[in-house]
Each structure stands twice: as C-alpha cells, then as structure tokens.
Structure 1
Amino acid sequence: MTPTSEPSRPSRRPSWASRNYSLLTAAAFVTNLGSNGALIASAFAVLEAGGDGSDVGLVAAARTLPLVVFLLIGGAVADRLPRHRVMVAANALNCVSQGAFAVLVLAGEPRLWQMMLLTALGGTGQAFFSPAAEGMLLSSVQGEQAGRAFAVFRMAMQGAALGGAALGGAMVAAIGPGWVLAADAVAFAVAGSLRSFLDVSHIPAREPGEGMLADLRDGWREVAGRPWLWGIVVQFSIANAVLGAADAVYGPLVARDHLGGAGPWGLALGFFMAGTVGGALLMTRWKPRRLLFTGILGVFPLALPSAALAVPVSVPVLCAAMFVAGATVEVFGVSWMTALHQEIPENKLSRVSAYDWFGSVALIPLATALAGPAESAFGRTPALWGCSALIVLVTAAVLFIPDVRNLRRNTKEVTQTPVSGSADAERPVGGLG
C-alpha cells in the first residue's frame, strides 16, 4: 500500500528566496533603517557639542580605522566559525556601543575622545560582521536567478537606507541626534535576534586549517589571481575614500552653511537611496551580459554629488544629482555581486569578502581625517572638485583591464557547491567595492 501525504502548500516566497535569504533580507532592512539615520546623527552630535569639520572627520575616521585593522581577521574567522554566530556577536557589540553613544549625547556635552572610542567599537563589530554577512548571503542563493535575488536584497537594503536617512535627518532636526542613535541601538538588537535563527546545517563543518596566516594567504591568492577583482577593489579604495570625506565631512558643513542644516542634507541622502532602490528595481529585470563593463560605466555618475556640493547648487539640484548617482551605482553593485557569485568557492567567500571590504575602507580613515586640514589648506570648493576628479580618473583607469571589459554573465545555472582545497573551483561578495 502506497502511503499518501497531504499536498504541500505553495510557498509564498519565490523559489530563489530561501529561509536564510529571507531572514538576512529582513535583518539588513532593520539594520540599514537605523544606521543611515545614525550616520547623520553622529555628525551633528559632534557639531552640536562644539566640534568643527576636523572633529567630524576624526569621529568618522575612528569608525573606519578598526575596519582596516580587523577586517582580514574577521574574514578568516567567518570562514572558520559558523557565520551566523559571528554576525550575532558583532550586532551585540554594535548595539552596546551605539546605546552608550546615545546616552552620552542625551546626557549632554559628550567629549570628542568618548565619541571616537564608542564609534571605534562600532567599527570593530562591523569588521567582523561584514565578511560573515557577505559569505552567508552568497551561500544562501542558488541558481540562474542569483542576480535577481541580489537585486531584491539590495533593493530592500537601500529602501531601508532611504527611509533611515530621510527620517534620521528629520528626527535630528526635530528632537536631536541622541534619540536617533538610541533607535540605531534598538535596530541592531532586533537584527541580531533575526540572524540568530539562520540555519547553517547545509554548510559542511570547516576542516582544520593550517592557521590564520595560511587562511589569509589562501584568500589573497583568490584575489590576486583575478585582475578584475583586485583592480576594482583598488578603484573603490580611492573612490570610497573621497566619497567618505564628501559625505561625512563636507556634506554636513555645506548643508549647515548653505542648505539649511540637517533636514535638507538628510533629504539629499534620501534621494541617493531612492536612486539605489530604483537601480536595484531595474536590475531585477535587466541582466547585462558584460557584467563588470556595464557596472563600471555606472560608477562615473558618483562624481556628481561632490561637484554639486562644490558649486554649491540648490537643494533640488543636489537631490537630482544624488538620485542619478544612486541609481547608476546600484547597477554596479548588483553586477559586482553576480560576478563574484560565479567566481569564488563557497569556503573562500568570507575571506575574499574581507579583502574586498578592506580595499573599500582602507583609505577612508585617512581621507576623513585629512578632510578638515584639506579644507583649511585649499578651501572647501577645490577639495570637493578634487573628489569628483579622482572618482572619474580611477573609474576610467579600471576600464583598461581586459577582464573588466570582457567578463560575461554565466547563463547556465550556477550551484553554490562547497569546495574544499581547490583554488580552481569557481563559483559573491560585494561591498561597494
């Protein structure tokens, strides 16, 4: 007699949206909602405490410096330990550091060294979180629809960033930066709770390796053997540095002096995020064959916001420039993740992601710390024009790499199969750059 079973209910999720993918997307939505408001709040907390542009730059640099120091270690740890545990621990550290920052600001008169210390703790948590999160996301997506899955993930993430930036700017203007920082601490607690439910049973236990240094060497070989990979990482090392200076230091100063303060600046950042949502929505349908070539072309408009601040233009024109830059750079973001999804073995994902993130943030502490002195030496307007020029130059340079121009999308189904010990077994990451 053949046993019968009840017909299974159709899933409400698309076939490419696994349970892990759904949890990761929900957690990223919550985190980005809080963090983008906190980015504005931290800058204005420094200014309201009597700081100047140099002090804003120092606090921003204090967050990114631990990223540079700990990212590679974080990538090796995430490829050795269960990635979801690394992510939850990092979220807990971010929750505590942002909560303490909020208490200091709400209590009144926070000192610069205190804000730098707490921001540095948050950066340390991010250093361990980012490689683990990239590896976890990329191992949760399978099949030909990987590009669409990445686009939907980024659309949710950027949609939250849009809401967080706009709401954060409005809240800073209405009730002050302390409450925005407190909300970010709560967001990290919620996101960490969601990530604690991730299932890693499908990922085989890591075999004992030869040590941390050997793991880092393996990750470096994966990067160094691919000119398109290290070329784009170098490109974004420079581009992200000048963008960080423009967004974290010059943007709030221009907003304060010419645009009306935190509210208009938050609105402009919100338009950038709206652009990224639109770009991600486009990429749910568009599958360009020449992944990296198409993506790199979308990086050139990142020079527009710095140029708009240099003039400075009116708030509507600045918002338009931010929207265009956000939409086109998201074409790069999805293409980047899709290309990496095709090329990197599962057991190397977090290490390669760590090198990617390391390159992306390596120069940001220096750029943000020097933004104030550069303004004093050359003037704010020339410094902003220099930011735009550097973005254009490094983006044009990377197009000379043949693999960037020629790498094609794999139209066959790509299965994320764990690979042990073979650097030749191909198979994401991303970080803007």
Structure 2
Amino acid sequence: MPKPESFQDQGSEAPISDAITAPGPASGGPLRSPAFRWFFIGRSISMAGSLMSPVALAFGVLEITDSAAWLSAVTATAMLAMAATMLLGGGIADRYRRDAVLSLTSLGAGLTQAGVAVLLLTHQHPVLLLPLAASNGVLQGLTIPALRGIVSNLVAGRGLQRASSLLASARNTNRIIGPATAGLLTASIGGGWAIAADAASFLLAGACFARISLPERRPRAKDSPTMLADMMEGWRYFKSQQWIWSVTVAFAIFNATNRGAWQILGPVIANDTIGAAGWGLVLSAQGVGALLASVVLMKMTLMRRPMTPALCSMALAVLPLVLLGAGANTFWLAGAALLTGMSVEFFTVVWETVNYTHIPERLLSRVGAHDEFWGTLSFPLGQMSAPLLAAAFGTAAVAVTGGAVAAAVMLLASLVPSLRRIEINHDDA
C-alpha cells in the first residue's frame, strides 16, 4: 500500500543511483548479509560495555565525591556536548559513509572512556572528568545519527522490522547482563574497571564496523549543496512532518520530567537503600522485559497503524520513577522496571520501523538527528534540576509529579491525527 498522502516524500527522494546499499544477499534474514553481520556484532559488543557504563560511572562518581551535584554535572556535561553536535552528526552521516563514521567515533569513544577509567581508578578530582565527559558526548552526538541511518543501508523491505528486533534483542540481552555486572564490579573492585571494559568494547566495535565496507558515495559535484544546505534540508523535512516532530516534542517533555529525574535520583536513593548491586538488578529487570518484547516482535507482524498503541505503552514507562519516590523496595522496583522494558521496546521497534518506512534513506540521519536533538535537549535540564527540586519539595513529590506529567504527554501525543493515520506497509518485499 502506498504511503498516506500526508507522509509522501514531497519530491525529496534521491535518485536510485544515489542509494547506498551494502554488499551481500538482498533477500532472506538480515543475518545472511555479511555487512549486517559485522554491524550486528560490533553494535552488540559496544552495547555490552555501554550498558555497564551508567551504573559504574554513577557509583564511581558518588564514591569519590558523595555528591549528587557532581554526578549531575558529569552526566549533564556529556548530554549537552552530545546535543551540541547532534545536528552536525546528521549532516556528516548523510554525506559520508556511515560505516566509516561509526568506526572512527568508536575509536575515539574507546580512548575517552579509557581516560575516565583511569581517573576513577586513581580517585582523581571529579573536575577532571568534565572534559572527558564532554569529549564522549561529542562522539556520541556524531555516532547516533549514523546509527539511525545505517540499518536502511544494510537491509530493506520486510527485513527492516526483523533487523530492528534483532538489534533490540542484543541490546536487551546486554541490558540484563550489563547493569548487574557493573553493579557487582562496582561493589567489589570499583566502577573504574567497568568503565575500562566499556572502553575496550568501543575499540572492538570500531574494528567490526571497519569490516562493513559500504560502497563509496558518488563524488559530489562542484555545485552540489554545502554541508549547511544539507543540514537545512533535513530541518525543512523534519518541521514539515507533524508525525515526526509531535513525537519529538512529547519525548522532550518525557525526558525532562521522567528520565532526567530517574537517572539522577535513582542512584542517589539506591546508594542509601538498595545499594549498587540492587540498583543494577533493577536496571537488569528492565532489560529482561525489553528482551521478552523484542523476541516476540521478531516473530509477530506489527499492526498496520501502530503509533497510537506504541505511544500509549510509553505511559507505563513512568511507573519505576513513581514507585522510587514512594519508597518501594527492590522487588516492586524490579517488577515496574520489567513492565517498562516491555513498553519502551515495543515503542522503539515501532518507531524505528516507521522511520525507515516513511523517511527517504538519504535524509534518515539528518531527520533522525533533529529527532534526537530536540528530544534530548531537555534531558540535561531534568538532570540538573532533579536534585534541586528534590531538596526543595521532596523526592516523592518530584518523582510522582514528574511521572504523571510524562505519562500525560504520551497519551496526548497518541491523539495526534497524523500519528493515528500513519501505516506500515506489510506488502513490501
């Protein structure tokens, strides 16, 4: 079935000769393609380390500072740097080979994380973490848009949903193992060693990405648009598509009121209650839920109009924050995290599949960069304001109010007409 009229590409499709496709089998499961296999292996390795990093960094900073303010400063610095370079990353990823971008940024991230590990292991002053956090944020800002676009270079048609689900399964398996491992390592020998493992994972992933070998893009003509013009084209497409920017706005509010508070208040409260190991188990429970959902999604076909149920499911993702504020124990937090993992994973696979289906390949990274940029720009605000609001109004009030606002905005987004109408074409080859 063709796209609904409101989702047509408005003349912005690239000529067929401009499309980038990886060498390998065009049919069958995504893993039959050598290029996708190398990407899958590299991405799985890097996620294994990255999902240990938040627990290790949080408790590592608290170990040397015992300060929520320092933890907030380090995490917000990385997030601001990531946001500052996200749009540039979109322009780069749509202009150059995405596999080369991923290989280089992975190498850089491995080096910066190695520096963080050294500082934590030697108990240096946390101010030294800030430039490394900023560098890592810049590299993440360049990486995320390339990740948003490269899957469409490696698989097509019905393989897109399965590829997204395969990657989600790997990510969620690591969500189970990574945080719990990081919690145990942090509690026993210190968070610096988990960060060191993250550094090694980036270096190995970079080597895998170098094996993808996408075809070179066609040489650009002398009168071709500049990088700035390319970035502006991405912005024009983004703002013209209500179905994209309405979800972005919803997540901007969600990230400020829910994720930012959870990331800062969670480790601080856990440090005085359930400890690093308990906190790691709660995060791993979310991974279990997400893994269950991704396995099911590999086997099932998404409903033709999936965005309304996907956004409604995100309203359930606020439960862990609300229970955290209510003083729930590890058991209840883990149960809520399990449900959250299932809800978030369902939305993620739906959103990725819809993006790959309805956004032109040559614009995927630029449009994805705007989605990520505007959606996460509020994240540092939530991170920095959480300890201040908790001190002024109490943890319970901040958690419950933040969760309620985040749930409400997802339910409101599900009512946007263009989102309710958007369809996935299951007849594609």
TM-score normalized by the length of structure 2: 0.90
In 1: Cα distance, 2:57 partner to 2:30 partner: 40
Aligned to 1:418: none
| 2:405 is the counterpart of 1:390 | yes
Matched, 1:134 2:154: no
Q: How big is the shift at 1:283?
A: 1.1
Shift of 1:13: 7.5
Match of 1:419 in 2: none
Which residue of structure 2 lines up, in the alignment, with residue 370 of structure 1? Answer: 385
- The answer to whether the 8 A contact 1:293-1:406 is kept is no
Matched, 1:167 2:178: no
Amino acid at match of 2:52: G
Instruction: Decide which of 120, 125, 131 is 1:117's aligned counterpart.
Output: 131
* Paired amino acid for 1:18: S
Query: What are structure 2's unaligned runs of at least 5 residues?
Result: 1-24
Alignment of 1:166-185 (within 5 A): 166-185=180-199
Moved over 6 A (4+): 10-13
User: What do residues 271-297 of structure 1 show as CA deviations (whole Å, max 9, x unaligned)?
Assistant: 011111111112112221212112112
* Contact 1:158/1:276 (<8 A) preserved: yes
SS in 1 for 2:66: coil
Q: 1:322 aligns with which of 299, 315, 337?
A: 337
Which residue type is aligned with residue 277 of structure 1? L
Equivalent residues in 2 for 1:345-360 (5 A)?
345-360=360-375
Residues 279 and 331 in structure 1, CA contact (< 8 A), matched pair in contact too: yes
**3-state DSSP class of the match of 1:298?**
helix
- 1:380 aligns with one of 395, 399, 423: 395
**Structure 2 residue aligned with 1:271, among 285, 289, 302?**
285
SS at structure 1 position matched to 2:232? helix
Matched-pair contact (CA < 8 Å) for 2:290–2:343:
yes
1:304 and 2:319 matched: yes
Q: Which of 204, 220, 243 is residue 258 of structure 2 equivalent to? A: 243
Taking the TM superposition and a 5 Å limit, the aligned residue runs for 1:10-159 are 14=29, 17-108=32-123, 110-159=124-173
Question: Residue by residue, what CA displacement relative to the aligned partner does 1:236-294 show, whole Å, maximum 9, x if unpaired?
Answer: 112123333233211111212222x1000000000011111111112112221212112
Report the residue type matching 2:76 in the other structure: A
Q: How big is each residue's C-alpha offset from its partner over 1:17-67, in whole Å with a ceiling of 9 and x where there is no partner? A: 422222221111111111111111111111111231121111110110011
Partners in 2 of 1:215 and 1:277 — Cα distance?
A: 37
For 2:171 and 2:220, the matched residues in 1 are separated by 30
1:383-421 per-position Cα deviation (integer Å, ceiling 9, x unaligned): 11122012112101212210111212112216xxxxxxx
Separation in 1, partners of 2:387, 2:144? 28
Scaled by the length of structure 1, what TM-score is found?
0.89
Looking at structure 2, the residues matched to 206 and 281 of structure 1 have their Cα atoms a distance apart, in angstroms, of 42
Q: What does the per-residue CA deviation read over 1:89-142, in whole Å, with 9 as the maximum and x for residues that have no partner?
A: 11111111110111111112x222211221111111100011112211222121
Q: Against the structure 1 CA distance between its residues 191 and 243, is the aligned structure 2 distance closer, same or farther, given a 3 Å change threshold?
A: farther
Aligned residues: 403
Partner of 1:221: 236
CA contact 1:304–1:325 (8 Å) conserved in 2: yes
Name the SS of the counterpart of 2:354 in structure 1. helix
Call closer, same or farther: CA 1:362–1:214 in 2, change over 3 Å: same
For residues 177 and 289 of structure 1, the distance between their equivalents in structure 2, rounded to whole angstroms, comes to 45
CA deviation map 1:325-372 (0-9, x unaligned): 110111111110111111111111110111111122111112111111
**Percent identity (aligned):** 29
Post-superposition shift, 1:203?
5.5
Kept in 1: contact 2:261–2:382 (CA 8 A): no
